[in-house]
Structure 1
Amino acid sequence: MVYVAQPVDILAGDAEDRLEAIFNDHHESIVSLLFRLLGGREEAEEQAQEAFIRLSKDRVIWRPREEVLAWLRRVALNLGYNALRSRRRELARLQRHARLEEPLSRSPGDPEASALQAEDIGRVRNALAQLEPRQQACLMLRYSGLSYREIAATIRVAPTSVGTLLARAEAAFRANYKE
């Protein structure tokens, strides 16, 4: 006999049983969502854990399954956006402190080319850091190889909106890069 796991009805049982059922059924999909947004498994795991902790403390656990899952995904995305903002602030802080300390090149070569390359990398990072979190996520996800449909699912917009969002993000990036 083959056993096929079925999602547990979260409207049955106590809060602990419901939370365990939701965690077992959806933890990996929440981590995957956050991984696509944040780009790192460890950070995605941390934010997913925080989302489930918040779920355990909220009365939304008693609502119908679809509402609970929508709430959980929204909280996870908000935590991901917060992490992106924190990352952007930290990057800006590090750039301010390390601007003069950073070596231009680790290998012997053309010092002028190394300086230009270091400057270009800094400009790209700075341009990305100035984008809104959703624009930053959209660009990162697209240039990570995700389809418009996958981007839409990750940032919770209509698939038909991704092209517009991506075009605006690219325009904002170009404007920030030229500054």
Structure 2
Amino acid sequence: MRNDLEQVFRAAYPRVVAVAARVLGSRDEAEDVAQEVFLSFGRSSVPGDEALPWLSVAAAHAALNHLRTGRRRAGRENAAGNGETFSPDVADAVVALDERRRVRAALSRLPRKQAVALVLRHSGLSYAEVAAALDLSPASVGTTVRRAESALRKELNRHASSE
């Protein structure tokens, strides 16, 4: 076990959970993903000064993997599709939930590097932090994120027209 694990955990846990929650939309699931990420880090030989970028990327990857399995959607879809009538507030919430589900599904279909760049940037990491995490030049982060946003829009439109 690493001797710096507790220090890294205390410093990085909020960010790891935030990155995973951005992808998953659930703090509980994000905390589960964070546990997996820190277990992997504990077994790794990643230098302590490179921990935060490594953990951020690992959180994005783990959350995307979790999304791709689709395990979490089944219960919500059953609850939303059981034929009950909803008040306008509940209907709005169901529509918003469906929109988030569609975005997360589209995100899971993007190329991995684009999806991770988009998640990291929209989780509050700076261009320099995203660049360090993904081994990119800071100048290319903006282009990568814009391409990812464009690909996400295309993916959403493609699946909206097929429904």
* TM-score range relative to shorter protein: 0.5 to 0.7
How big is the shift at 1:162?
Answer: 0.7
Q: Sequence identity of aligned pairs in percent?
A: 24
Q: What's the C-alpha RMSD, in Å, of the aligned pairs? A: 4.0
SS of structure 2 residue aligned to 1:86 = helix
1:61-108 deviation line (CA, Å, top 9, x unaligned): xxxxxx7447867874674354123212233x5547864652488851
Match of 1:86 in 2: 65
Q: How many residues align?
A: 149
Distance, in Å, in 2 between the alignment partners of 1:137 and 1:32 is 18
Q: Give, as a single letter, the amino acid of the residue that structure 1 aligns with 2:20.
A: L
**Mapped pair 1:26 → 2:8:** yes
CA–CA distance in structure 2, aligned partners of residues 114 and 29 of structure 1: 34
Matched residue of 1:80: which SS?
helix
The 3 A distance-change label for structure 1 pair 172 and 105 is farther
Aligned partner of 1:44 among 34, 37, 40 = 34
Give SS of 2:80's match.
coil
**What stretches of structure 2 of length at least 5 have no aligned partner?**
22-26, 159-163
Alpha-carbon distance change, 175 to 128 in structure 1, aligned in 2, over 3 angstroms:
same
Q: Which has the higher contact order (CA 8 A, sep 6+)?
A: 2
- Corresponding position: 1:154 with 2:133: yes
Provide the residue aligned with 1:176 in structure 2. Answer: 155
Relative to structure 1, the CA distance from residue 157 to residue 109 in structure 2 (aligned partners, 3 Å threshold; closer, same or farther) is same
Question: CA, structure 1 residues 109+32, in 2 after alignment: closer, same or farther (shift >3 Å)?
Answer: closer
Whole-Å Cα distance in 1 between the matches of residues 143 and 153 of structure 2?
15
| TM-score between the two structures when normalised by the length of structure 2 | 0.62
Deviations 1:118-145 (A, max 9, x none): 6544432221121233322322233333
Q: Which moved more, 1:74-83 or 1:135-144?
A: 74-83
- Is 1:124 the counterpart of 2:124 in the alignment? no
For the pair 1:102 / 2:80, whether they are aligned, the reply is: yes
Is residue 114 of structure 2 the alignment partner of residue 135 of structure 1?
yes
Higher Cα Rg, which structure: 1
Higher helix fraction: Structure 1 or Structure 2?
Answer: 2
- Measure, in 2, the Cα distance between the counterparts of 1:44 and 1:26: 13
Tell me if the contact between 1:34 and 1:48 (Cα under 8 Å) persists in the aligned partners: no
CA contact (8 A) 1:47 1:79 kept: yes
